[in-house]
């Protein structure tokens, strides 16, 4: 991925991994637009990094995505990088589910349908650029699921699969397709900021940016800390990794 000279849109860019990426790309001289539902969070991020732009929209609403994409295309015609980062994670007890499956449906709409809809809406603009990229943020849990968060893990596995198909369909075009595969990172997603087992956010972002800098053709961005999950099946250790992960992290201690 080309890491300078871009106009970059990052969903969920006001906090966590999205904010870390936004700050890093902004520091490299890219034009960065952060988007999300919480205006206050976007404003705080912009105040800390003057020069960024914030736009509010609802990733769960198809009409909002269409309107947002049209506005982005009008206001930022040079947009050439989309980073689909926005996501939610909730523990679910499958033996005592809500009758309307509200949590599961919200996770699917946010984590899977949102990126698919936004990519579809912005791809025509991206394809007009001499160079463009789509980066989808999945998770190490796409490769080895954590049982207390089944729908979250399923959506991330689906994003991994979708990204592979998108990459193949766009072969030979000007649009590069990457997947960012985070480990357990210290963010406010499921109270990770207070968990000593989580990778510090600053360390994670620094390693990601170093990978992008030194491996410009990388397709799946995996820091060392996530490789145990990412390589579990291919290394023949899947059962051991799955059982170890789920024994260590239960719904009670998430």
Tokens representing 26 are 């902004």
Q: CA separation (Å) from 120 to 28, 65, 75, 127, 134?
A: 28, 10, 18, 11, 11
Q: Count CB-CB contacts under 10 A for residue 216.
A: 11
Can you tell me which residue has the tokens 């990426």? 21
Q: Check if 152 is active-site.
A: yes
The catalytically annotated residue of 76, 131, 152, 162 is 152
Burial of 153 (0-12, 13-18, 19+ CB in 10 A): buried
Strand extents, DSSP E, 53-131: 53-56, 81-84
Supply the residues annotated as catalytic.
152
């Amino acid at each position: 991925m080309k890491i300078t000279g871009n106009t970059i849109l990052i969903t969920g860019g006001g906090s966590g991994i999205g904010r870390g990426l936004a700050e890093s790309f902004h520091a490299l001289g890219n034009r960065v637009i952060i988007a999300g539902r919480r205006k206050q969070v976007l404003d705080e991020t912009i105040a800390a990094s003057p020069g960024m732009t914030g736009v509010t929209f609802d990733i769960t609403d198809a009409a909002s995505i269409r309107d947002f994409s049209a506005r982005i295309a009008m206001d930022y015609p040079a947009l050439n990088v989309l980073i689909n980062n926005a996501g939610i994670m909730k523990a679910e007890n499958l033996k005592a589910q809500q009758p309307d499956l509200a949590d599961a449906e919200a996770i699917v709409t946010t984590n899977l349908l949102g990126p698919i809809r936004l990519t579809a809406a912005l791809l025509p603009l991206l394809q007009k650029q001499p160079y463009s990229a789509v980066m989808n943020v999945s998770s190490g849990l796409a490769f080895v699921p954590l049982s207390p968060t089944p729908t979250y893990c399923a959506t991330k596995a689906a994003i991994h699969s979708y990204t592979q198909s998108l990459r193949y369909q766009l072969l030979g075009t000007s649009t590069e397709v990457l997947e960012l595969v985070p480990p357990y990172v210290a963010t406010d997603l499921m109270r990770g900021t207070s968990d000593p087992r989580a990778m510090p956010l600053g360390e994670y972002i620094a390693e990601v940016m170093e990978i992008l800098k030194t491996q410009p053709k990388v397709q799946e961005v995996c820091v060392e800390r996530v490789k145990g999950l990412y390589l579990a099946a291919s290394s023949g250790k899947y059962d051991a990794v799955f059982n170890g992960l789920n024994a260590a992290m239960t719904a009670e201690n998430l």
